[in-house]
């Protein structure tokens, strides 16, 4: 499966699409982690899961929750500790994204999506949609 770089100006919209799959790669160490970010029906709460096995379709375990599109937290059902590098990587990325510290992200992390729309999950086929991480129809529904 080929990955495509997410345009830095659209990362927040991508993250909160409701069906986003995001891979973060450290530009210093080369290590990477893949996360799924899903939402409830109202798109008010987002659930972050970490890929932790060989099957990139179903080997995800719950990591934490994003509340109010501002706060990422571990919960009682989290399967990962706050000492895990995968947790620290996502927390760093999320905190800097929300605080508009995009330079910190660009200097330290490369963010990729898996070629599917972050809102509906369909395969992206046009260059514009691939760059945005969201299809044209979903983008218009979300006023993007």
**100-137 confidence digits (pLDDT tens):** 998 889 899 988 888 889 999 999 988 888 888 899 99
pLDDT of residue 8: 43
Share of the chain above pLDDT 90, in %: 60
pLDDT of residue 144: 73
pTM surpassing 0.75?
Answer: yes
pLDDT of residue 19: 92
Cβ-contact 116, 122 below 8 angstroms: yes
The pLDDT tens digits of the residues spanning 73-99 come to: 999 999 999 999 999 999 999 999 999
Give every CB contact of residue 57 below 8 A, 6+ residues apart in sequence: none
Q: What gap in Å lies between CA 94 and CA 89, rounded to an integer?
A: 9
∠ Cα 44 46 48 (to 5°): 175
62-69 LR contacts (CB < 8 Å, sep 24+): 63/35, 63/87, 63/90, 64/90, 66/37, 66/94, 68/44, 69/16, 69/98
Question: What residue spans define the domains of the chain?
Answer: 4-141
What dihedral do alpha carbons 82, 4, 8, 72 form, nearest 10°?
Answer: -20
At residue 72 the predicted structure's pLDDT band, cuts being 50, 70 and 90, is very high
pLDDT of residue 56: 85
Token couple for 130: 């691939």
Q: What gap in Å lies between CA 10 and CA 73, rounded to an integer?
A: 23
Per DSSP, the three-state class of 105 is helix
Where is pLDDT greater, at 108 or 8? 108
Whether 65 has a pLDDT exceeding 80, the answer reads yes
Partners of 123 in the β-ladder? 116
At residue 4 the predicted structure's pLDDT band, cuts being 50, 70 and 90, is very low
């Amino acid at each position: 499966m080929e990955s495509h770089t997410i345009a830095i100006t659209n990362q927040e919209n991508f993250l909160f699409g409701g069906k986003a799959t995001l891979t973060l790669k450290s530009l210093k160490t080369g290590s990477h982690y893949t996360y799924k970010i899903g939402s409830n029906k109202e798109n008010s709460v987002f659930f972050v899961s970490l890929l932790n096995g060989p099957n990139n379709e179903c080997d995800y375990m719950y990591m934490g929750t994003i509340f109010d599109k501002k706060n990422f937290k571990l919960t009682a059902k989290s399967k990962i500790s706050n000492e895990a590098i995968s947790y620290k990587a996502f927390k760093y990325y999320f905190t800097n994204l929300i605080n508009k510290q995009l330079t910190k992200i660009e200097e330290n992390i490369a963010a990729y999506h898996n070629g599917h729309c972050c809102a509906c999950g369909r395969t992206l086929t046009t260059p514009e949609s691939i760059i945005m991480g969201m299809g044209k129809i979903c983008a218009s529904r979300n006023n993007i």
